Amino acid sequence: MKKFMVLLLVTWIWICGVAYSTTPASVNIGAVFAFDSVIGRVAKEAMEMAISDINKDPNVLNGTDLNLIMKDAMCNAFLGSIGAFQVLEKGVAAIIGPQSSAVAHTISQIADALQVPLVSYAATDPTLSSLQFPFFIRSTQSDLAQMTAMADLIDFNGWKEVIVVFLDDDYGRNGVSALSDELEKRRLKISYKLPLSIKFDPDEITNLLNQSKLFGPRVYVIHANPDPSLRIFSIAHKLQMMAKDYVWLVTDWLSATLDSLSPVNRTSFSALQGVVGLRQHILDSQKKRDFVSRWMKRQKDGLTNTSLNSYGFSAYDTVWAIALSIDKFLKVNNFTFMLHDNYKLSHTEGIGVQLDKLKVFTGGSDLVKILLQSNFTGVSGQVLFNSDRNIVSGGYDIININQLGISRVGFWSNNSGFSVVPPETLKKRAHSRFSKDQKLDNITWPGGKTDRPRGWVIADNTKPLRIGVPKRASFVEFVTEVPTSHEIQGYCIDVFKKALEFIPYEVPYVFKPFGNGKANPNYDELVKMVADNVYDAVVGDIAIVTNRTKIVDFSQPFASSSLVIVAPINKSGSSAWVFLKPFTADMWCATAASFLVIGIVIWILEHRVNNDFRGPPKKQIVTMLMFSLSTLFKKNQEDTISSLSKMVMIVWLFLLMVITASYTASLTSILTVEQLSSPITGIESLIASSWPIGYQVGSFAYSYLADNLYISKSRLVSLGSPEEYALALQKGPSGGGVAAIVDELPYVELFLSKETDFGIIGQPFARNSWGFAFQRESPFAFDMSTAILRLSENGDLHRIQERWFCKMGCPEERTSNSKPDQLHLISFWGLYLSCGVVSLAALVLFLLRMIRQYARFKKKQKDIASSSSEQPSGSHCSQVVVNFFNFIDEKEEAIKKMFTPSDNHHNPN
């Protein structure tokens, strides 16, 4: 048993010895970057500190030293490639860098060929994708994240257009492309792109910035390499472009430049007054503070001559990520390199590179997988890679430069948007980027202003706005050029000039007449010239229709319009039965019935007391009918005696007075008002007919009738002036004219204000409005819309219209010749009801009085019969009714005499 245990122990020691013997004594990694650069100087110090810390740490690569082989790429793709070859022939496990995106594209292909991981702490070009370069890993934030933050910053401040100044290489072009995509998602745009050569030639910068002064946008986005001389801003300051109304936004190259300056040159801040930029957000942690403290100590001791920036943190963590990954790799694999048949090349003299010694790293793919699984807290925060092989974005600080230095005004992250609270804090609160709480601290803009700049100006005084105006030949009240003075005037021009008074900045402009003045111009062509950049805007009676809104932007409408039909009219007095038109049929029936009812009521009330209402039946019927009818014309021959009759007559005469006055007024209006003589009743009947239709030259009515209503173009007749309108309508379709004209309502109102033989048929259709046209996404369109709304609210818009069109009464007042409504029964039902109630009440009182008299009469008869000992004979109900009506038919005097003897018998006196 002891022998077995000894054997087992010996075996175990042997296995451990073999395993220990396969662990390499050292591992080489390479670094290719520009030594003498803002980022390179910081990265070199940071990587050397990381190598020192790793080799001192017994928990990482225990027993194996990590060697860093550095080569200077000098920001050149050719020299960078040579440097890559030189470190690769040393058998490196990974390459760090380069910092230049252009160099990274070249070295990535070399790294892919030899399957060596390439980890960059500064190449931010978003086109360095994982699909094209499977061995490329980015340990800093991609420009895709940075340009998302920049687009959000532009959108947050409400700017619509920007000018981009960028370095004309892979880094600059691809970064600007990412920004353009992000702006487009927010319906914003890059108006102008100003490329810079990598030489940063001052004359070139001066020419580009001077050129940009002629543009409207004043928001500049600078995407370039770190520049300690800050040449762009120095030149902009000399050109007086660091003043109010300008906005300067920069990507993180500026923060890297300023952070690395040691000590900070205070004179440079005067040229940077008001600049707003991005800086990679570094999570505040104890590791970060310790690292910063060590760096400052090295500066103090003279071991380094540069200050720390965000790329220094990334470079330090990059080395640690590779070291930790190699440590895991060595526990399961060995470093082996082998020659690939496709890469067996001969020795190349002169450059010190032996290409035949380049070998493929067989474990490169495994090491890449381990690197992508990295998850540790470094000095820059959490080191974690996403599926695109980019480090997970930690967001950006928003910095503002003023006379006191660099101040942080907020933070941005893809999850929470803008805030004054660090993203990691908001992440714990489950904060949404769509929250209304997005905000930044106060920003000092160029010129020392704290108010947010508009970010756009109309133009430089040397390049005023080109305003196209239609040179109308007819309806010149709206807009035209005066031939003698060449002055542009009209209703639309006055609206435009008045609106300019409400725009808070000066607008230099020049009117450009469009048309020959002999015929109205084509408005579709005029609007298209705005889209073609011939004009900056068009001011005039421009209808806002669908096909125009597709190519230009319109201001808020300043006048309502629609298409209407104009046709000849005549007088309705020629009709023989025109006197029947004031009343509707039910009104005539109700009026006739009322005459009959009043005649019957008065006859009933007067029959017993008035001899004029007695006599033969034929006479009584004539009297009954003629009495109420005669009240229309003269005093009645028959006088009313009964009080109840007089009460009824008072109400009836009042009703008759109102009806008579209403009838007279309506008939007078009908006899004098103009009525349409055309058989066309509206747009439907016009379409169904085959008659020719007139339209105004240049109006959108032609395209609407032809393209939307599908009316044959052969039926459409162009007319150029109000005189041609009148002549064509007078001739009619049989005389070579037109049956009707379709035009916009404002023109028609002005035409009808001077013509009395024509009128509007049917209801308006194709409703639209007039507005001013501007180039797409022009900020001036928004400001003009706001000004027009203010004109409308304070009444100026209406006053301008009155000044031009209401000298002899407004067009809508002068052309209101529509057919008057007939009088309906519903308008008089109250009077009829009152008259009916009074008549009914009079009849009821009369009937009650008669019943009372009849009861007294019957009692008297009973008393007489009882005194003579005669028994009253029974009677049937029908006999009672007959007797009652016979009693009523008797004269009042006869009834009174019936009661008189009875009264004398009981009263002997």
Count Cβ neighbours within 10 Å for each residue of 141-160 and write b for 16 or more, e otherwise. bbbbbbbbbbbbbbbbbebb
Specify whether the CB–CB gap between 165 and 224 falls below 8 A: yes
Once rounded to an integer, what is the mean pLDDT over residues 243-269?
81
Which range has highest mean pLDDT (415-419, 605-609, 623-627)?
Answer: 415-419
100 and 49 co-located in one domain: yes
Q: What is the pLDDT of residue 141?
A: 93
Domain assignment present for 246:
yes
Q: Which residue, of 425, 445, 470, is where some domain finishes?
A: 425
Supply the DSSP symbol for 819. P
Domain assignment present for 121:
yes
pLDDT tens-digit series, residues 732-786? 888 889 989 999 888 888 888 888 788 888 888 888 889 999 998 787 888 899 9
Q: What is the pLDDT of residue 354?
A: 61
Domain assignment present for 585:
yes
Specify whether the CB–CB gap between 45 and 315 falls below 8 A: no
Q: Which residue, of 655, 672, 689, is where some domain finishes?
A: 672
User: By percentage, how much of the chain surpasses pLDDT 70?
Assistant: 83
360 and 403 co-located in one domain: no
Q: What is the pLDDT of residue 233?
A: 92
Q: What is the pLDDT of residue 652?
A: 79
Domain assignment present for 473:
no
Whether omega for the bond prior to residue 98 falls within 30 degrees of 0, making it cis, is yes
622 and 647 co-located in one domain: yes
Q: What is the pLDDT of residue 859?
A: 74
267 and 293 co-located in one domain: no
334 and 235 co-located in one domain: no
Least confident of 325-329, 626-630, 763-767: 626-630
Specify whether the CB–CB gap between 312 and 378 falls below 8 A: no
130 and 188 co-located in one domain: no
149 and 78 co-located in one domain: no
Tell me which amino acid residue 447 is.
G
Q: What is the pLDDT of residue 635?
A: 57
Strand pairing class (65-72; 189-196): unpaired
Tokens of 552: 């230009």
pTM of the model: 0.66
Once rounded to an integer, what is the mean pLDDT over residues 241-264?
87
Model confidence at 605, pLDDT cuts 50, 70, 90, reads: confident
Q: Which residue has the higher pLDDT, 546 or 905?
A: 546
384 and 414 co-located in one domain: no
The alpha-carbon radius of gyration of the chain (Å, integer) is: 51
Checking if the pLDDT of 415 tops 70, the result is: yes
268 and 305 co-located in one domain: no
Q: What is the pLDDT of residue 683?
A: 85
Checking if the pLDDT of 547 tops 80, the result is: yes
Q: What is the pLDDT of residue 865?
A: 67
Domain assignment present for 521:
no
193 and 299 co-located in one domain: no
Which residue from 750, 736, 743, 869 is spatially nearest to 801, judged by alpha carbons? 750
31 and 121 co-located in one domain: yes
Once rounded to an integer, what is the mean pLDDT over residues 251-268?
76
Domain assignment present for 407:
yes
Report d(CA 215, CA 218) in Å as an integer.
8
CA distance from start to end of the chain: 174
The CATH number of residue 47's host domain is 3.40.50.2300
Which residue from 87, 32, 82 is spatially nearest to 361, judged by alpha carbons? 87
Complete DSSP assignment for 211-264: HHTTSSB-EEEEE----TT-HHHHHHHHTT-SSTT-EEEE-THHHHHHHH-SS-
Q: Which residue, of 672, 702, 722, is where some domain finishes?
A: 672
Checking if the pLDDT of 148 tops 90, the result is: yes
Report d(CA 188, CA 777) in Å as an integer.
8
Domain assignment present for 740:
no
pLDDT tens-digit series, residues 550-600? 999 999 999 888 888 988 876 554 566 777 777 788 888 888 888 888 878
Q: What is the pLDDT of residue 611?
A: 67
405 and 337 co-located in one domain: no
Which range has highest mean pLDDT (379-388, 421-430, 481-490, 652-661)?
Answer: 379-388
Domain assignment present for 685:
no
Checking if the pLDDT of 66 tops 50, the result is: yes
Query: What is the total count of domains within the chain?
Result: 3
Q: What is the overall mean pLDDT for the chain?
A: 83
Once rounded to an integer, what is the mean pLDDT over residues 848-872?
69
Which range has highest mean pLDDT (159-163, 700-704, 883-887)?
Answer: 159-163
Which domain range does residue 321 map to? Answer: 26-140+285-342+353-390
Which residue from 690, 733, 728, 736 is spatially nearest to 711, judged by alpha carbons? 690
pLDDT tens-digit series, residues 172-184? 999 999 999 999 9
Report d(CA 101, CA 224) in Å as an integer.
12
